[in-house]
Chain A
């Protein structure tokens, strides 16, 4: 107290303000805690009978009243060549061609409640959640044809529909279950259209519209066995592959001919 009285009042105020400035970020930074997550699988092997896979995710929630949003995306660039049809005289044909970049191969969002009730558009944009955020990321390059003002809308809506039909893009706002106020669980379906590569699942815990927890998981999809062998040969030894393809076909054709000769009889 003696010391405090010795320090001039203006410095008091300054010290208190400085303290608050340091404290506030310390409080908010400390609040984004690490979410511990577990998955039933880390690698998906594409074998002969592969028809997609399901992976279950479990994680902890620091507070029972918080919400969870999980975003699963493919990593790496996935440029697409997209064509748009138009009517010329009586016929429908491709009138435009675009190169589309900035959209991932796979994009899935799961949450505990409707997303609009959990966070505001600004935080959604920062975390990359929602189709409108994707649309903003999309880059369109016109390769052929005339540009029109509705190009961006038509292309995004068209691509979105194709992706949803292939179960590559999905937003499910009631997918995540919370048990005992402490653990969240859900599963992601990987369709067979999801290609080889690394996929990242980011689990965000949101409370009162602020990010309070984050966890990251990586899933790797790769081919194995015959699938891998064929893919490798087709890519790296195409001449051998082509030769094998023709010989197998010829062989099968003639073999069946021989079998039927014995069976039919003239």
Chain B
């Protein structure tokens, strides 16, 4: 059964689209990632013009993340105080990031820069996370739980102003620290057109020192706000949001996110991390191949046949 997407300017199988949304939503609820870094490339492979794919993906992420955040909130995994600090940093960073994107687009090779950044980041994060969680599972190696790490972190950051106690995460640290990280992640997220969870969650776990499941829930909360902002701006400035496309995707992703949150509750932190690490590494490899192999067609229609 086909459906015609008005802004994308093409028809697509409705079951395929909803299924894609469900799969990505599941991962969103499980790992606390928005899913954007998988969803946008998958949509482009299905033939949707890149600009419309990215903007409609942001729209879809709002729903999946809201669904997952809600589930985690009821499971008491959301640290709202930390989340607010993070999202403020994310909004600032995202705005800066959009400006950088504009400059890069004028220079003309935004796609290459994006893929190269993806490869660098995904392989670093994926690799480190894989090794760490593997070591934890095997019982040897550094245990990155909050208690032994906290005294070290507290001494470095306790001299900074804006000390806050984050009850849910069981942390006492300066608010400047998560704000700065979130700003950096936000800029990167705008550059890559994603929610940023796949950087943010490891950063929250390893650098800030939050427990895994609280990092996941809090990140989802932060994503809802930042992607709602991106969606709105894309609709107003670029007219690239295809609401019908987003609606079909989010029908799948909201349901998928609920199942993902439940499965996440049953797994231990290090199990979630190793699964996420494997997925991240798979995508790093995929992008490396994209950059190194000769494409089938040297010519591409930039801006696409559909969308604006």
Name A's B-contacting residues (CB within 8 A). 46-52, 80-87, 90-94, 97, 105, 144, 154-155, 157-159, 161-162, 166, 192-193, 195, 223, 226-228, 230-231, 234-235, 238-239, 241-246, 248-250, 252-257, 260-261, 264, 266
Q: Is the CB of B244 within 8 A of A230?
A: yes
Is the Cβ of B59 less than 8 Å from the Cβ of A249?
Answer: yes
Q: List 27 A-B contacts (CB under 8 A).
A: A46-B4, A50-B2, A85-B298, A91-B112, A92-B294, A97-B108, A105-B305, A144-B108, A223-B6, A227-B244, A230-B244, A234-B7, A234-B235, A241-B241, A242-B231, A245-B59, A249-B62, A249-B63, A249-B231, A249-B246, A253-B63, A253-B254, A256-B258, A257-B67, A257-B74, A260-B71, A260-B258
Complexed CA–CA distance, A158 and B233 (Å): 34
Contact B295 A85 (CB under 8 A): yes
A94 in contact with B231 (CB, 8 Å): no
Q: Closest CB-CB distance, A248 to chain B, in whole Å?
A: 7
Query: Is A256 a contact partner of B67 (Cβ separation < 8 A)?
Result: yes
- Interface residues of B, CB < 8 Å — how many? 62
Cβ-neighbour of A94 out of B60, B108, B233 (below 8 A)? B108
| Contact status B109-A93, CB under 8 Å | yes
Docked CA distance A248–B112 (Å): 33
Within the complex, the shortest CB–CB distance from A20 to chain B, in Å, comes to 54
Given that A234-B7, A256-B258 are known contacts, is A162 also in contact with B236, CB under 8 Å in the complex?
A: no
Q: Which residues of A contact B291 (CB under 8 A)?
A: 90-93
Which residue in chain B gives the minimum CB-CB distance to A47?
A: B4
Taking CB atoms and an 8 Å cut-off, the chain B residues in 215-274 that contact chain A are 224, 228, 231-236, 239, 241-244, 246-247, 250-251, 254-255, 257-258, 262
Cα A203 to Cα B63 in complex, Å, equals 51
Q: Which chain B residues lie closer than 8 Å to A166 at the CB level? A: 305
State the Cβ distance, B284 to closest chain A Cβ, in Å. 15
* Known contacts A49-B3, A159-B301; A239 and B59 CB within 8 A of each other: no
| With known contacts A50-B11, A97-B108, A257–B70 Cβ distance under 8 A | yes
Could you tell me if B241 and A242 are in contact, using CB atoms closer than 8 angstroms?
yes
In the bound complex, residues from chain A placing their C-beta under 8 Å from that of B205 are none
Q: Which of A193, A245, A248 has the most CB of B within 10 A?
A: A245
Using known A-B contacts A158-B299, A238-B239, determine if residue A246 contacts B62 with beta carbons closer than 8 Å.
yes
Return chain A residues, CB-CB under 8 Å to B293: 92
Binding site for A on B (CB under 8 A): 1-4, 6-7, 9-11, 59-60, 62-67, 69-71, 74, 108-109, 111-112, 116, 224, 228, 231-236, 239, 241-244, 246-247, 250-251, 254-255, 257-258, 262, 291-295, 297-303, 305-306
Residue of B69, B231, B251, B297 touching A245 (CB-CB under 8 A)? B231
Contact B235 A158 (CB under 8 A): no
Decide: A49 and B297 in contact? CB cutoff 8 A.
no
Measured CB to CB, the closest approach of chain B to A72, in angstroms, equals 17
Contacts of A226 in B (CB 8 A): 6, 244
User: Known contacts being A83-B300, A193-B306, A195-B9, is A254 close to B67, with CB within 8 Å?
Assistant: yes
CB within 8 A of B6: which of A154, A162, A234? A234
A243 touches B292 (CB 8 A): no
Residues of B contacting A47 in the complex (Cβ-Cβ under 8 angstroms): 4
